[in-house]
A and B are shown apart, each in its own frame.
Chain A
């Protein structure tokens, strides 16, 4: 299972780097989305995979049994997904506003604020 996840994380990172290097702003945002998902999967895999053992304990038990799934990485990813969602939504609106003001979607044209006067 780890091998499949590791390969897919690598694939997602590769896609995101490719998209981040394109000139279109929309592709840049898609690249950021892929990067966020690759990172979430990485956190999930690094936290350790446990097959078929839910993250619950019996009512009368005080301490968790051996080999229980760790709920913390899932909580971390949930937080990261929510934050990532908010940020991506903000970025999309920003791109829309920028496009309506400047009429361009080409990152090579986005150089006004770096101009040397």
Chain B
């Protein structure tokens, strides 16, 4: 049962390679992502009712084999990737173009979902590395699909830094294995808990850098704004939604489960980088003029909030971070998709030429307004509750500086969203309007779904906060996780 999030994309890749007809390809892709979403919601329900689900692949008992584990945190992440999957598969049908669809856009897209879901449910650090590589390889191919010059150039920057992070990651894994003799996360957590003389700081730093590059944290983020605006916007939105969050997932998983010593050093480091990530990301966003680049820098800035929740390291902080990840993925993907709609309507991403959308297309303006204000954190939209939880957790644990930065960055985020709003939507278009381009349902539907999710996350916040609180409690008491995998008995 819990292999479904891996099996569905895998089966659809095989099916997609068999058919040449574009309509079949779209149908398979949309059906597969819909099934993925349904099965991940089902899994979330199972985990909510029955607790952590474990499967030992090939019936090898832990810690020998590779376990697949779904706890609350993984389940929430799976639902998130399911929602993004279905939205992007619908949006891509009228965005990426026939040529790209013929040249295997859909299989690559499913391969990316396969890698992301695999990373969320594996319980073995080397297997996590392999899933990361599946995801990265698919993202490389998606990034260069189409062979435009800007895409190739962005890909060189993205690939170089991704490869560096992979090698740091595998070096960290090798050192952990040399020190503890195990790769199973639960076994590792058990060993480290019993013996706190282990030399884990080198591995922890290597993991921190590797996940930090993938999550686009402060000193390591330069690949992101250099590459995310080059592919078609459906691909950008997919990357913006899912890729960096897998890095954040890795950080939260490893720093709650097995890098649990020297907490004063690590949590201070996490908080300092979180603050710097937030502030520098948003300041660079405020100075840009291409909508996609503004949004790319906002991704970086918002990553800071997630790391902040991890650095505070209280149940409320972690719950806030998970809630914030979910909210951010919905809102951020949505803003990218609306940027794509603007490009379809007006043929530009640039604030110098985009004008007067509000008068011509009030609905599109509304579709941008909701996720933009959710990102800025206005109540009753989803971002408000994410930031509220994080700042509350910060103030309760006397982290005043980071809480201040969180609020300050929130204001600058609002400023740069208003900058887009004023120029692209409110300013009058001096040119005589050309014939109206028709807005297809495939473009509008995903945005409507994501916008209503942003509203639902805000209005039904207490329900979602309950779920993330359960996830945070499971993360901060790893005994259940260890017991679920190792079966209570110590081998």
Residues of A within 8 A of B (CB): 25, 28, 32, 35-36, 39-40, 42-48, 72-73, 76, 79-80, 83, 86-87, 90-91, 94-95, 97-98, 101-102, 110, 112-114, 116-117
Contact = CB atoms under 8 A, between A and B. Distances in A.
Q: Which DSSP category, helix, strand, loop or mixed, fits chain B's interface?
A: helix
Given A35-B164, A83-B130, A91-B163, A43 B170 contact: yes
Interface residues of B, number: 42
Contact of A110 (B157, B177, B230): B157
A53 B164 CA distance: 34
A60 to B, nearest CB: 21
A24 to B, nearest CB: 12
A95 B156 CA distance: 8
| CB-CB nearest 7 A-B residue pairs | A43-B174, A46-B178, A98-B152, A39-B167, A46-B174, A113-B154, A101-B149
7 contacts: A36-B167, A47-B174, A79-B126, A83-B166, A87-B136, A113-B153, A116-B288
Contact of B177 (A28, A43, A91): A43
Contacts of B287: 116
A103 to B, nearest CB: 10
B152 A76 contact: no
Interface in B171-194: 171, 173-175, 177-179, 183
A31 B137 CA distance: 19
Given A32-B163, A76-B126, A94-B140, 17 more contacts: A32-B164, A43-B171, A44-B174, A45-B178, A47-B177, A72-B183, A76-B173, A80-B170, A83-B166, A87-B133, A87-B163, A91-B159, A101-B147, A102-B152, A113-B153, A113-B157, A117-B289
B149 A83 contact: no
Contacts, number: 103
B378 interface: no
A76 B137 contact: no
A39 B171 contact: yes
Contact of A101 (B152, B170, B229, B290): B152
Given A110-B153, A113-B227, A28 B160 contact: yes
Interface of B: 126, 130, 133, 136-137, 140-141, 144, 147, 149-150, 152-157, 159-160, 163-164, 166-167, 170-171, 173-175, 177-179, 183, 225-227, 229-230, 287-290, 350
A25 B137 contact: no
A112 B153 contact: yes
Does more than half of chain A's interface fall in helix, strand or loop, or is it mixed? Answer: helix
